[in-house]
Structure 1
């Protein structure tokens, strides 16, 4: 199904918002757009909403998927991701949702054998309504062969260099926010001189359950502060990861940084294996009590 804009879609969503979990994919360009959609089809989302300009072409198997619902949306022309996500939240309270950009791929513990719905059912049983997700940068190993920095076959990642800082509470300067941290690392850390300070964090609350009056904010956090916590008060909870070419693409596209970067590889670069076990072993996501 394809509709001319979000307002039209929300007036008659059909079965797209009937049950969750729902994935929202925002296309900034066409880089690995088909692969992004196929990956999230395979994860088991009940509906996948693609927000993209009409000019972006899809492979036939992708466009024919009964799971896909395409909505005209152009981020480069000023259409807002935050406003779109908040509109879907308001339209489908109670459903689990997820959002990402093209060339980003969700991984969670044991995702090779378990669906995203199974994971979120367990997370719900633990009385959690949101899940912390780390955005882990991917990049092509050879920028001569892949000048756009994107290659699924030659994807690399940083195996170390990640850290967290306490998140300040503007209402209590003597104590940081409870169970909230700001996470850093990857290309946003290594090339921080090219990244605005407010865009350097790699944490995102990408999985969440919609409810009335819930709002996503520009910094990838939510209006309900409990949604922004990494765990409940009594034990560790599940976390997940989004492996993403987005920062590498931007650094190579930006005239202010592209000529400073001949290669993203360094001594802590390793090939990405496209398997959740690698991310678990590196401590980049947490299985919590789910075995």
Structure 2
């Protein structure tokens, strides 16, 4: 079903937010919107809400599977405001947000649904899940000038690191169980990336509750939501395989002509399988076997 804007969706499409998990997909451009929808539908999300410009055309059969809201996503501020309004409308519901040409993976996602995974996560008394945004890029930019190619997708197998997240209220003490994670294209081409956009962690899966607010840096107003694990053991984490950074570096005039290829000695072909991401240490199964 189509909605003219977010206001009309919140007024007339509340049934889509009645039971989770719900995926919110923001189309920043027209690249791979259809595959993004199909991927997340296949993971088992009960509903998919697509925020996309009016000029996007989808196959009729695919469009019937989503709630489509006409919206042009031109900044993180727009995404943040939209997610926060959805939070207010869907208390108690598990939500997920991503952008087009991004693909969620979690441990054993080939045989288990996102609902099953979140049921286990909830049993561990967790209301949010850390996700690492893993940069994907085409191996041959002459064949894929926008750096997007599902058939020739590559990722970095190493070069990831974490640093303590400082507490602004206490310079001598980092925040408890919070880290800033770095790596991928944002690390290798950091001179083209604003400092505030260089980290790769995102709390992409979370349970909505009254008063909760998403911030522009992909963290939440409730600091426990921003932790990578509970105090007593490691928890599940997820990964979002994303062409978003590669697309931006190719679209930006300041970086496009300085980059002939994204591949380097630590590039490997992406196998589109959760086991590869676990083997590389890019997500954690925790106690879920």
Distance 2:70 2:64 in 1: 17
- Which of 129, 147, 152 pairs up with 1:154? 152
Distance 1:283 1:219 in 2: 23
For 2:285, the equivalent position in structure 1 comes to: 287
For 2:190, the equivalent position in structure 1 comes to: 192
- Which of 235, 243, 259 pairs up with 2:257? 259
For 1:107, the equivalent position in structure 2 comes to: 105
Runs of 4+ in structure 1 deviating by more than 6 angstroms, as ranges, are: none
Tell me if the contact between 1:137 and 1:246 (Cα under 8 Å) persists in the aligned partners. Answer: yes
For 1:204, the equivalent position in structure 2 comes to: 202
For 1:50, the equivalent position in structure 2 comes to: 50
Distance 1:79 1:257 in 2: 23
Tell me if the contact between 2:76 and 2:216 (Cα under 8 Å) persists in the aligned partners. Answer: no
Aligned to 2:175, the other structure's residue is in SS state coil
Tell me if the contact between 2:17 and 2:90 (Cα under 8 Å) persists in the aligned partners. Answer: yes
Q: Residues 36-75 of structure 1: matches in 2 within 5 Å? A: 36-65=36-65, 68-75=66-73
Distance 1:77 1:206 in 2: 17
Q: What is the CA deviation profile of residues 26-57 of structure 1, one whole-angstrom value per residue up to 9, with x for unaligned ones? A: 00011110000000000100110000111111
Distance 2:102 2:57 in 1: 18
Tell me if the contact between 1:73 and 1:79 (Cα under 8 Å) persists in the aligned partners. Answer: no
Q: 1:239 to 1:79 in 2, by over 3 A?
A: closer
Aligned to 2:17, the other structure's residue is in SS state coil
Q: Residues 76-95 of structure 1: matches in 2 within 5 Å? A: 76=74, 80-95=78-93
Q: What is the CA deviation profile of residues 209-254 of structure 1, one whole-angstrom value per residue up to 9, with x for unaligned ones? A: 0000000000000000000000000000000000000000000010
Tell me if the contact between 2:137 and 2:154 (Cα under 8 Å) persists in the aligned partners. Answer: yes
Tell me if the contact between 1:43 and 1:115 (Cα under 8 Å) persists in the aligned partners. Answer: yes
Tell me if the contact between 1:188 and 1:200 (Cα under 8 Å) persists in the aligned partners. Answer: yes
- What 5-or-longer segments of structure 1 have no aligned partner? none
Tell me if the contact between 2:154 and 2:268 (Cα under 8 Å) persists in the aligned partners. Answer: yes
Q: Residues 201-280 of structure 1: matches in 2 within 5 Å? A: 201-280=199-278
Q: TM-score, normalised by structure 2?
A: 0.99
1:18 CA displacement: 1.1
Q: What is the CA deviation profile of residues 3-43 of structure 1, one whole-angstrom value per residue up to 9, with x for unaligned ones? A: 00001111122420110000000000111100000000001
Q: 1:79 to 1:57 in 2, by over 3 A?
A: farther
Distance 2:27 2:160 in 1: 27
Tell me if the contact between 2:185 and 2:245 (Cα under 8 Å) persists in the aligned partners. Answer: yes
For 1:22, the equivalent position in structure 2 comes to: 22
Aligned to 1:180, the other structure's residue is in SS state strand
For 1:31, the equivalent position in structure 2 comes to: 31
Count how many residue pairs are aligned between Structure 1 and Structure 2.
289
Distance 1:244 1:103 in 2: 6
Instruction: Kindly report the root-mean-square deviation, in angstroms, between the aligned alpha carbons of the 2 structures.
Output: 1.0
Distance 1:85 1:77 in 2: 13
Q: 1:280 to 1:177 in 2, by over 3 A?
A: same
Tell me if the contact between 1:162 and 1:186 (Cα under 8 Å) persists in the aligned partners. Answer: yes
Distance 2:42 2:95 in 1: 16
Distance 2:166 2:271 in 1: 35
Q: TM-score, normalised by structure 1?
A: 0.98
Q: 1:54 to 1:122 in 2, by over 3 A?
A: same
